A and B are shown apart, each in its own frame.
Chain A
Amino acid sequence: MKSLRPWLQSALLAAGSVVFLFPLWWMVVVSLETPKRAGAAMTGQDGVALWPADPQWGNYAEALAEMGSEPWVGFVNALANSIVVTTLVVIGTVLSSSLVGFAFARLRWRGRGALFTLMLATMMLPGQVTLIPLFLLFRGLGWIDTILPLAVPAFFGNAFFIFMYRQFIVQVPESLVEAAKVDGHGWIGIWWTVILPLCRPVTAICAVFTFIGTWNDFMGPLVYLHAEEQSTLAVALNSFRNQYGGLDDVHLLMAASLVTMLPCILLFIAAQRQFVEGLARGAVKG
């Protein structure tokens, strides 16, 4: 197929970028406006400038201070909770999914094919279906109002990422595994020292997707954590929206929303190269 001319390619990409970046730009601009101009922009009474004439940087401090019942405390608590939960879930998902993927790819054991199919079938189950049974299970274990229901399941693998790891590891030459055996490693040692470092592109995808999914997860923390001091940022933002959802406070809502999503944007930029490489590999080899 003949490729598009460079200028046309650039024009199409630029147009696509504008479509995707518009909401972000709108949020940034509104978050820096005065309450009156932000409200007008929200109702469509007035357009927004490309960049505010007088950026109100103080909106950010005000929004974060107002999150929760005590100034700053609500935000700091929610941020800390999000960091703890997300870190645990990312570590758990990467470790468990890569280990199980390795076992499916390299170990020969009875029932491997059937279990792999069963595992893939679990991907068809919507999260809502398992919500109530899981809630009952965690309540039975006495885990409600702790972060355990959010973090512990991550250490039992994620079907989609197990599948991705398995597809990637199958491509790793068998001789590398054998060389590691001759060098004195057992299965766990081979996974840790040889396979996991080679899976960096898949790990980047797994980590970024898991981070974004967990950081933005609203349902899990809402169901399992009930006290304000246990809230994650997503739940705290929702409370903030309930409290400051009026037209006069839309600038604060945008500021709080932007701060909430900032780590995801930064992470994506940092891991972009690995991420895109991993997706490309998945496309070719998976």
Chain B
Amino acid sequence: MAEVILKSVGKVYPGGVRAVQGVDLHVRHGEFIVLVGPSGCGKSTTLRMVAGLEEISEGTISIGGRVVNDIAPSDRDIAMVFQNYALYPHMTVGRNMAFGLERRRRHGSLLRSLLSPAYAAERRAESARIQARVDEAAGLLGLRPLLQRMPRELSGGQRQRVAVGRAIVRDPAVFLFDEPLSNLDAKLRGEMRTELRILHRRLGATMMYVTHDQEEAMGLADRIVVMKDGLVQQIGSPSELYDRPVNRFVAGFIGTPTMNFVEGDVERDGNGLALRWAGGRITLPAGITLVTARAAIGIRPDTLVPVADGPFRGTVQSIEFLGDRADVLVESSGARLNARVPTDSARAMREGESITLGMPSIVHVFDGEGQRAE
């Protein structure tokens, strides 16, 4: 278990492409931190810099209080789980799990063990210790019956567990996961997510995890790092990111279905401000300061409810039933609003009918540059 500290970390590829810039991040002991963002945002590059698989162009990375910029991946006390599992196809599950430790064994010379009985005994003891570690990790993940199998004989979920087991065996200070669930089907992904969460609680290890799936990030993380275009947009707990996104990107990226945005002109409204758009006008929450003439309000779909009289009047475009809830898409004077409503309420609606949605209790306000206004 260790802290990971990134200070002004940047990555510039040959040719000048800047993949990551100025990342400052402090991953605490035993924390599960998830880096999330769209493709090309720099999340995997950041993780790979922590792993030592990418050179660091700017800044420093320390693991357990030691700057690791120039230290080889194997000496950083990390273990990594790759997107495609990266199991050695020619080794059994057991050997795959033991491989990293065998490489590190102090009594590694077979020739010397043939010449010296004492050395041979130490070598045997070390082998036994490695086997015990493999057995323990296999037991933790339910892999004992698979230890003699080859990777090609395993299902996707089993391979994923072996990859995690291989990391556990090494007992690293930091676990790094690079989109480890993205090759699994939706059901298995959900199951593995829960397993990983339980595993994190059991091991109490520091974990850094990369995904493009914000739901996965919300489900797993103690804290989430949202990235875009190589820059960190926001770092916070899942609830912080959901409740107080710092900009429109984070607001739109976090949460399912995505947040609705209504853009309009800012105007005075007594002592406060109001937003006017083609379809209506609403008074912005008191205390909001805006210096731009244009602004947008952000509304979570689950806070929009059908009412008799409200600011958003429009036509129902589609209704998708999801079980106890339904997603209703409403076209309202150029703005498309997604409302997640109880199924009973959705049953009373018809596609093509007019509908009025009420003013939600929580409205996020973003200025013309997309930054949160307070």
Q: Interface of A with B (CB < 8 Å)?
A: 173, 175-176, 178-185, 189, 194, 197-198, 200
Instruction: Verify A185–B103 contact, CB threshold 8 A.
Output: yes
List 25 A-B pairs, Cβ < 8 Å. A173-B84, A173-B86, A175-B83, A175-B84, A176-B86, A178-B51, A178-B82, A179-B86, A179-B88, A181-B52, A181-B53, A181-B74, A182-B51, A182-B73, A182-B100, A183-B74, A183-B99, A184-B74, A184-B100, A184-B104, A185-B74, A185-B103, A194-B88, A197-B90, A200-B90
In Å, the complex CA distance between A200 and B90 comes to 10
* Least CB separation from A200: chain B residue: B90
User: For residue A182, which residues in chain B have a CB less than 8 angstroms away from its CB?
Assistant: 51-53, 73-74, 78-80, 100
Besides A175-B86, A181-B72, 5 more A-B contacts (Cβ < 8 Å) are A178-B53, A182-B53, A182-B74, A182-B80, A183-B103
Residue of A whose beta carbon sits closest to that of B178:
A175
List the A side residues contacting B103 at CB < 8 Å.
183-185, 189
Q: Smallest CB–CB gap between A195 and chain B, Å?
A: 10
- CA gap between A18 and B83 in the complex, in Å: 51
Contact indicator per residue, chain B 85-104, by CB within 8 Å of chain A (1) or not (0): 01011100000000110011
Nearest 10 pairs between A and B by C-beta? A184-B74, A175-B86, A183-B100, A179-B86, A184-B103, A175-B82, A197-B90, A182-B73, A181-B73, A182-B80
Complex Cα spacing A185 to B102, Å: 11
A198: chain B residues at CB < 8 Å are: 89-90
Roughly how many angstroms separate A138 CA and B242 CA in the complex, as a whole number?
76
The residues of B that contact A176 with a CB separation of less than 8 Å are: 86, 88
Determine how close the nearest CB of chain B comes to the CB of A154; give it in whole angstroms. Answer: 25
Considering the complex, give the chain A residue whose CB is closest to the CB of B176. A182
Pick the contact of B80: A173, A179, A184, A185 (CB < 8 A): A179
Binary A-proximity of B134-177 (CB < 8 A = 1, otherwise 0): 00000000000000000000000000000000000000000000
Q: List A contacts of B90 (CB < 8 A).
A: 197-198, 200
Chain A nearest Cβ from B214, distance in angstroms: 24
CA distance A184 to B82 in the complex (A): 16
The minimal Cβ–Cβ distance linking B176 to chain A, given in whole angstroms, is: 9
Please report the C-alpha to C-alpha distance between residue A195 and residue B83 in the assembled complex, in whole angstroms: 20
> Once A and B bind, how many residue pairs between them come within 8 Å at the CB atom?
49
CA distance A180 to B91 in the complex (A): 13
* Closest-CB distance, A179 to chain B (whole angstroms): 4
Main secondary structure of the interface of A (DSSP, over half): helix
Q: How far is the CA of A254 from the CA of B64 in the complex (A)?
A: 74
Contacts of A175 in B (CB 8 A): 82-84, 86
B88 contact set on A, CB distance < 8 A: 176, 179-180, 194
Contacts of A178 in B (CB 8 A): 51, 53, 73, 80, 82, 86
B75 to chain A, nearest CB (A): 8
Complex Cα distance, B78 from A179, in Å, reads 11
B338 to chain A, nearest CB (A): 38
Give chain B nearest CB distance to A234 CB in angstroms. 36
Closest CB-CB distance, B244 to chain A, in whole Å? 37
Q: How many Å lie between the Cα of A181 and that of B51 in the bound state?
A: 10
Contacts of B73 in A (CB 8 A): 178, 181-182
Q: Judge whether B82 and A179 touch: CB under 8 Å.
A: yes
Q: How far is the CA of A179 from the CA of B79 in the complex (A)?
A: 9
Report the minimal beta-carbon distance from B119 to chain A, rounded to whole angstroms: 21
Report Cα–Cα, A223/B33, bound state, in Å: 69
* Bound-state Cα–Cα, A279 to B230, Å: 44
For A182, A189, A197, A198, the residue with the greatest tally of chain B CB atoms inside 10 Å of its CB is A182
B159 to chain A, nearest CB (A): 12
User: CA separation between A189 and B52, bound complex, in Å?
Assistant: 18
Give min CB distance, A237 to chain B, whole Å.
39
A residues near B89, Cβ cutoff 8 Å: 198
**Bound Cα distance A189, B72 (Å):** 14
Smallest Cβ-Cβ distance to B79: which chain A residue: A182
Contacts of B74 in A (CB 8 A): 181-185
Q: For residue A196, which residue of chain B has the nearest CB?
A: B90
In B63-83, the 8 Å CB interface with A consists of 72-74, 78-80, 82-83
Q: Report the nearest A residue to B48, measured CB to CB.
A: A178
B residues in contact with A197, CB < 8 Å: 90
Minimum CB–CB distance from A181 to chain B (whole Å) comes to: 5
- A194–B90 Cα distance when bound, in Å, is 8
Interface centre among A176, A179, A198 (most CB of B within 10 A): A179
Which residue of chain A lies nearest to B14 when distances are taken between CB atoms in the complex? A108
B273-302 residues with Cβ-Cβ distance < 8 A to A are none
Residues of A within 8 A of B79 (CB): 182
A173 to B159, CA, bound (A): 16
* Contacting residues, chain A, for B99 (C-beta < 8 A): 183
| Alpha-carbon distance between A184 and B83 when the two chains are bound, in angstroms | 20
B56 to chain A, nearest CB (A): 16
Chain B hits for A184, CB < 8 A: 74, 100, 103-104
Residues of B within 8 A of A183 (CB): 74, 99-100, 103
A177: nearest chain-B partner, CB-CB: B86
Name the interface residues of B156-204: CB closer than 8 Å to any CB of A.
none
Q: How far is the CA of A181 from the CA of B99 in the complex (A)?
A: 12
Specify the chain A residue showing the minimal Cβ separation from B74. Answer: A184
Complex interface: chain A residues within 8 A of B51 (CB): 178, 182
Which residues of the partner chain B approach A189 to less than 8 Å between Cβ atoms?
Answer: 103
Residues of A within 8 A of B83 (CB): 175
The CA-CA distance from A177 to B369 in the complex, in Å, is: 43
List residues of chain A with CB within 8 A of the CB of B80.
178-179, 182
Bound-complex Cα distance A198 to B151 (A)? 13
Which residues of A have CB within 8 Å of B86? Answer: 173, 175-176, 178-179
